[in-house]
Structure 1
Amino acid sequence: MRFQFLLTFCAVLNAGQAQQIGEVDYPYLGIKFTIPAGWKGAETEGAYIIGSDTQPGFILMVPHEIKDVALLKTEARNGLSEEGIYLSMTSDFESVGPGGIGAEFNGTIQGVAAKAYVVGVINPLGYGVTIIAATDVPNYSPAYKKLAKQVAMSLKFTHPKEPPFASQWKEALNGATLTYMNSSYSSGPSSDGYSSYSGYSSHIEITLCPSGAFSYSSSSSSSIDTGGGSMSSGGKGGGQGKWSLTGDAGGNNVLKLEFSNGRVDTYTLSYNNDKTYLNGKRYFRTFKQNCY
């Protein structure tokens, strides 16, 4: 049986992503690695996937921000659960080069019973990397452990290169309040003299203090009236922490919010027609001088 997760890899390639072989360099992340011979790779959203035309399974590389080996082990023991991947650790840890640990995992990927060897590598200079070499259970062999370790040992970390216009973005955002507002309203047909409608509104405010601290608040509300009954709902959120500017693999500037509760939000920054965008959404930039 042709392993089903390769459909993910094929979908990435068919979407027009360039296939890569050999050494891959991401200077804006400070990460360089080598694709194993006979395999080829492509970028996918938030990760890098490597596949083969002749061998089942894949190698998935995902960045992480863990700096402590003990915490890396704790996360591994808790298992992997993301984007259709559900894996639990089934072996003891092994050391994999400096700053790396590896172990075998069992579970499911896209609903298929799977087995994988997973290596987590700490990067003292920036993003670390998790490497998952996986296939379905019947096709798993020590070769996948070897592949994961091979990629891990090829990793080279350097100080990330500063993205273009990073200093301009820092100047533009330092002390600024970023506000997102969105609302919609639509009316529907009338029934027995009663009008129907639906409405929605959303508001986000992020204040970026010169000290490196930030405050975040959000609110949303929605309502609907069918003419025979109505319903409304709403919610609020907020938090504080530290903000910084970083880059992504493509050299885009990224706003990073590290909340005091451990949550991390990232926003790709762009500027067009004198307007500021975070993850493609328009934010108004003002200076209210309300830093705490």
Structure 2
Amino acid sequence: MNKLLYLLIFIFISNILYCQTISGKVSDSSIGITFNVPNNWKGQQIPQGYIFVSDIEKGFILVTPHNFKTIDEIVENANMGINENNGTVLSLSDKLEINENSVAGIFKGFLEGQAAISFAKSLMSPFGGGVAVFVFVESENYSEKYKEFVNEICNSLKFSEPVRSSLENELEQILNNCRLTYMNNYNSGYGSGGIQDKIIIDLCEQGYFNYYDESQVVMNADDVSGYSSGNKNNTGNWNVIARGDQGTLILNFDDGNIAEYNLTFEGEKTFLNGNRFFRTYKDSNVEGTQPDCF
């Protein structure tokens, strides 16, 4: 789960108390799923899927699609646990429950600095990808009934062929064979150097992407000069999804990591999670701005 996910989750949890909520049965043709919401739980759709809270029970439930291709990929990801930069670290605490089409496990650690336990179950869809269901509860309040809530959702879950929305088709057309470039320079002042951020994402029509992190730390002090460069080159598969009128770019890296970016546009300007990226294509006449797509 990406690093901004938990912040977004807590924002939506607050909104659930005041906005129209979802309960009963959920049907989402864009993901290709239907499932039943457990009694006394209510929720909202978010860019990452669906989130549910209860006036009676503690914690929250997250239902989110995944793009893993095999059970082995899910197992590998589960063994890595959840490790974010915001005080969230949960590690697998027991042996995984592995079946033909699902993987489940209990994770213990900290969520936003609070001791927490999560039971998670990931299912494979016959149409590709699948769905993961998580429950997160403070450690002192966790019991087996929270595992039952997750299993209740999973047992009711039915898959169908996803139907792409007009927004998803439009976004895919915009981003096919496109280079997205982010640049930001920060100078610490007084001649001491700074940081030069440069990230390039090539989105190719065949469904793969190239990701280049060319960020540099520049040093220019009295006794030290030079730079260090990230030079991180990564590849994987990309996709766009829409939740209502919000488009999201998903990068599935070959090493198992997943990055999600909320897409917004202002005229010809493109923003990923609020950061401006320059968008160029193969017909660009500026050297070095054409996407590396075959």
* Fold shared, TM-score > 0.5 on shorter chain: yes
**Residue 234 of structure 2 is aligned to residue 237 of structure 1:** no
Gap runs ≥5 in structure 1: 1-7, 189-195
**1:24 aligned to which of 10, 23, 26:** 26
Partner of 1:193: none
1:153–1:85 Cα change, 3 Å = farther
Gap runs ≥5 in structure 2: 1-7, 283-289
Size of the aligned set, in residue pairs, is 276
Task: Give me the whole-angstrom Cα distance separating, in 2, the residues matched to 1:197 and 1:159.
Answer: 56
1:237–1:259 Cα change, 3 Å = farther
Partner of 1:145: 147
What is the letter of the counterpart of residue 90 of structure 1? D
Q: Secondary structure at the match of 2:166?
A: coil
**Residue 84 of structure 2 is aligned to residue 90 of structure 1:** no
Q: How do residues 70-81 of structure 1 correspond to structure 2 at under 5 angstroms?
A: 70-81=72-83
1:254–1:20 Cα change, 3 Å = closer
What is the letter of the counterpart of residue 195 of structure 2? Y
Q: Secondary structure at the match of 1:151?
A: helix
Task: Give me the whole-angstrom Cα distance separating, in 2, the residues matched to 1:276 and 1:219.
Answer: 20
Partner of 2:3: none
Are the counterparts in 1 of residues 167 and 245 from structure 2 also a CA contact under 8 Å?
Answer: no
1:69–1:234 Cα change, 3 Å = same
Partner of 1:285: 280
1:205–1:93 Cα change, 3 Å = closer
Choose 29-38 or 41-50, whichever is displaced more: 41-50
Deviation of 1:187 after TM superposition, in Å, equals 4.7
Deviation of 1:9 after TM superposition, in Å, equals 7.4
**2:215 aligned to which of 212, 215, 220:** 220
Partner of 1:36: 38
Partner of 1:177: 179
Are the counterparts in 2 of residues 89 and 105 from structure 1 also a CA contact under 8 Å?
Answer: yes
Q: How do residues 1-292 of structure 1 correspond to structure 2 at under 5 angstroms?
A: 12-15=12-15, 18=19, 19-43=21-45, 46=48, 48-82=50-84, 84-90=88-94, 93=97, 99-185=101-187, 187=189, 196=191, 199-223=194-218, 233-239=227-233, 241-250=235-244, 252-280=246-274, 281-287=276-282, 288=290, 291-292=293-294
What is the letter of the counterpart of residue 24 of structure 1? V
Deviation of 1:150 after TM superposition, in Å, equals 0.6
Are the counterparts in 1 of residues 215 and 231 from structure 2 also a CA contact under 8 Å?
Answer: no
| Larger Rg over CA atoms | 1
Q: Secondary structure at the match of 1:28?
A: coil
1:89–1:268 Cα change, 3 Å = same
Are the counterparts in 1 of residues 118 and 136 from structure 2 also a CA contact under 8 Å?
Answer: yes
Are the counterparts in 1 of residues 67 and 252 from structure 2 also a CA contact under 8 Å?
Answer: no
Percentage of matched positions with identical amino acids = 26
1:244–1:119 Cα change, 3 Å = closer
Are the counterparts in 1 of residues 47 and 243 from structure 2 also a CA contact under 8 Å?
Answer: no
1:42–1:164 Cα change, 3 Å = same
What is the letter of the counterpart of residue 219 of structure 1? E
Deviation of 1:152 after TM superposition, in Å, equals 1.1
What is the letter of the counterpart of residue 247 of structure 1? I
Task: Give me the whole-angstrom Cα distance separating, in 1, the residues matched to 2:277 and 2:116.
Answer: 42
Q: Secondary structure at the match of 1:14?
A: helix
Task: Give me the whole-angstrom Cα distance separating, in 2, the residues matched to 1:86 and 1:215.
Answer: 30
Partner of 1:5: none
1:24–1:234 Cα change, 3 Å = farther
Are the counterparts in 2 of residues 30 and 126 from structure 1 also a CA contact under 8 Å?
Answer: no
Cα root mean square deviation, aligned: 3.8
Deviation of 1:48 after TM superposition, in Å, equals 3.6
